[in-house]
Amino acid sequence: MTILSVDGITVRYGRLTALRQASLKVDEGETLFITGPNGAGKSTLLKAIAGVVPVAEGAITLDGKVISGGSPEDTARLGFSMVPEGRHVFGSLTIEENLMLGAGMRKDRARAGDDLAAVYEVFPMLKERRDKPAGVLSGGQQQMLVIGRALMTGPRLIAIDEPSLGLAPKVIDQVYETLLELRDKRGLTLVIVEQSSTRAMMTGGRMLLLRSGEIVLEGDARSLARGDTLKKAYFGYGEH
Amino acid sequence: MTAILQIIFDALSLGSLYAIGALGIALIFGVMRLVNFAHGDYISFCVFAMLWPSIDAAAVVFAGNLPTFILIPLILAIGAGLSVLSEILVFRRFRNANPATMMIASFALGFVLKHFLLMLFSSRPKSIDLWSNLSLPVEVAGARIPLLQVITIVITILILLGLTAFLKRTRFGLEMRAAAENFTMARMLGVKANRVIMLAFAISGMLAAAIGLILATQSGTADIQMGVSVMLVAFIATVIGGLGSLPGAVIAGFLIGGVSVLMQVILPLDARPFRDAFVYGAVIACLIWRPQGLFAPKSAKQRV
């Protein structure tokens, strides 16, 4: 079952084309890694889906509804939860306020309390500091907080941009462990942007490689890792 | 001792006006990075809303004759309505424009409002009699303080407490604080941009209306220019307080009020006519010392 479908979208920043005719489909419950070098358009792709940057051509459908051209809040309300690069915790809000912010659009407000308890169970560290401003948390803790916050929206699909950026390897392992556990427990769909393809190979799932705004390679993360197609695609086909 | 008390009350009541004005500007700046220069004209508009259009020198009081418990909510509603309307009709079109463009748009809106009032009421200030018995003095610890000053200070404290409770305790308040810190991220969590912005405009408009009511009672006149001077100082207060910081705006508002009153007292007689020059000199010194403002929020840097 396709939950998200991106059909030939082009995104331009002024004269610069950041994404050219990109198409992809995401099935419910799967894990999709999007990798590629700097400036390939990975973040732009996620932002376009989230409704933060406008799409010049093409269409995006989430769960059968066209979301391209809509606002970020509408997309979020349809079950697409975005964790952007750099995490973006609300530093002056307390940890609990950060979490509760995500619960605002839930129609079943009553369940927000249960969800909060569930998030605290996954991240006991957040519960201990619930009344502290989120700005005091370390990078790894902030990553946990934004994942928890994304969960509070009751999402069907979570898209995370560079979850390992600026984190120690041990903390990255923790983040991934948590993500995959949540995926399995809640039937979540994950779309993860990672600059390093190693993590995708370790985790498994489908992988998609973007370069210069175009999708150049797609396949199973582990099988792609075996040959050197990936390396070639990453750096360009025999251009050097 | 009584003289000192008098100075303190003068400073607090003047600072109150600046603080409420700065708060109205900072609220909107917080959610959409707009410095709304039409804010001063909202103040005048609310005052003139109490009058019947006429170009005579004596004001033809209209809504101003209503009983207090109707008049005050009515004027607050007019302020909120005008402010929300200007968001829908004007500022919404500039949502993604750069801050300079939005600022120019707010100037233009201010001129439109001013000339609309000018057309209906002419430029002559009119006398208006609102709760004039409030200017009678009361005795506070031996000093004779105009009752209106005490009321102004009390109202300001109530507004500040109410707004703090609203921002800290309610869902809307949470959304507004989040939106002020990182608007895009808040939207990605489902916070509705239009609702938050309209709410900020509504509150800001009510604050403008409150200033209008206080000013009109204090001065006993309705003058098209009356909001502008408060607006200018209030704007300076938001900058000194650190653009985007609500507590900063309030504290800086009181600070400027205090410094103005203090200068009036301690400057040598010959220098007193130039008091404002000294006040603005202090403002410049303050900005050289801390260009980012006294309480610059981290989010003030830029929006993603």
The DSSP bridge pattern shows strands B60-61 and B51-52 to be antiparallel
Question: If pLDDT is split at 50, 70 and 90, which confidence band does A19 have?
Answer: very high
Q: Which residues of B touch A149 (CB under 8 A)?
A: 189
What Å distances lie between residue A222 and A170, A198, A233, B55, CA to CA?
Answer: 22, 10, 15, 82
Query: In A, which residues are within 8 Å of B193 by CB distance?
Result: 71, 73
CB spacing of A104 vs B190 below 8 angstroms? yes
Strand, helix or coil for residue A7: strand
Q: Give contacts of A72 with chain B, Cβ < 8 Å.
A: 184, 187-188
CB of B77 closer than 8 Å to CB of B199: no
Per-residue pLDDT tens digits for B57-116: 666 677 667 778 888 899 999 999 999 999 999 999 988 888 899 999 999 999 999 999
| Global confidence as pTM | 0.87
CA distance B104 to chain A (A): 24
CB atoms A73 and B304 under 8 Å: no
* Paired strand residues for B108: none
Q: Enumerate residues 6+ apart whose C-beta is below 8 A from B121.
A: B48, B51, B53, B54, B55, B222, B224
- pLDDT at res. B126: 81
Q: Which one of A41-50, A116-125, B282-291 scores highest in mean pLDDT?
A: A41-50
Q: Number of C-alpha atoms within 13 angstroms, CB side, residue B147?
A: 9
Domains of chain B listed by start with CATH number: 2-300 (1.10.3470)
Please state, in angstroms and rounded to a whole number, the distance separating the CA atoms of residues A9 and B251.
49
Band (B12; pLDDT cuts 50, 70, 90) = very high
> Which range, of A50-54, B59-63, B299-303, averages the lowest pLDDT?
B299-303
pLDDT (tens digit, 9 = 90+) per residue, B242-276? Answer: 887 889 999 999 999 999 999 888 888 888 888 88
CB contact under 8 A, A82 and B188: yes
Separation of alpha carbons B199 and B138, rounded Å:
38
The pLDDT value given to residue B304: 33
Q: Domains along chain A?
A: 2-235 (3.40.50.300)
Closest CA in chain B for residue A48: B188
User: Residue A125 half-sphere exposure, CB side, CA atoms within 13 Å?
Assistant: 12
Beta bridge partners of B58: B127
- CB environment B281-304: b (16+ within 10 A), e (fewer): ebbeebeeeeeebbbbbebbeeee
Residue range A85-113, pLDDT digits in tens: 887 899 989 999 999 998 877 766 677 78
What is the spatial distance between Cα A82 and Cα A161, in angstroms, rounded to a whole number? Answer: 8
Among B188, B191, B197, B245, pick the best mutation site for testing chain A contact (most A Cβ within 10 A). Answer: B188
Q: How far is A107 from chain B (nearest CA, A)?
A: 12
What SS3 class is residue A163?
A: coil
* pLDDT > 70? residue B297: no
Stretch (H or E) spanning B115: helix B99-121
Q: If residue A200 lies in a helix (H) or strand (E), which one and from where to where?
A: helix A197-203
pLDDT at B300: 47
CA–centroid distance for B231 within its chain: 6
Q: What pLDDT is attached to residue B301?
A: 46
- pLDDT tens digits for range B129-179: 777 777 777 877 777 888 888 899 999 999 999 999 999 999 999 999 999
What's the ipTM?
A: 0.89
Asked whether the predicted pLDDT for residue A61 surpasses 90, the reply is: yes
Residue tagged 């705006």 (tokens):
B249
Instruction: Average the pLDDT over A116-138 and give the result.
Output: 90
For the ranges A90-104, B16-30, B42-56, B87-101, the lowest mean pLDDT is seen at: B42-56
Residues of A in contact with B168 (CB under 8 A): none
pLDDT band at B303 (very low <50, low <70, confident <90, very high): very low
Q: Tell me the C-alpha distance between A34 and A43, whole Å.
A: 9
Contact A81, A46 (CB under 8 A): no
